[in-house]
């Protein structure tokens, strides 16, 4: 066996191990790695509904690009 062949096998085994670890990982462990939710005091606002003229302009622009 050459050094390149051994390195290929080691990399392949590592990829398989990482894939299996990701598949078998429990949901509890996944939750610990997730980004925490922000608990800021900022008020979330819903963006305003676009006017009919704006919607028609967007549709016209889409038709021009096709």
Residue 47: its pLDDT value, please?
78
Q: Vertex 36, ends 31 and 40: CA angle to 5°?
A: 150
Q: What would the two tokens of residue 3 be?
A: 């050094």
Q: Structure pTM?
A: 0.35
Which residue ranges in the chain fall short of pLDDT 70?
1, 25-43, 66
**pLDDT at site 12:** 92
Q: Which residue has the tokens 């066996």?
A: 1
- The CA distances from residue 66 to 6, 50, 56, 60, 61, in Å, are 52, 22, 16, 10, 9
pLDDT of residue 48: 83
Domain ranges of the chain: 1-28
């Amino acid at each position: 066996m050459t050094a390149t062949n051994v390195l290929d096998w080691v990399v392949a085994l590592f990829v398989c191990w990482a894939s299996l670890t990701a598949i078998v990982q429990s949901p509890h462990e996944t939750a610990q790695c997730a980004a925490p939710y922000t608990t800021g005091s900022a008020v979330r606002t819903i963006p305003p509904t676009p006017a009919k003229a704006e919607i028609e302009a967007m549709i016209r622009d889409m038709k021009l690009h096709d």
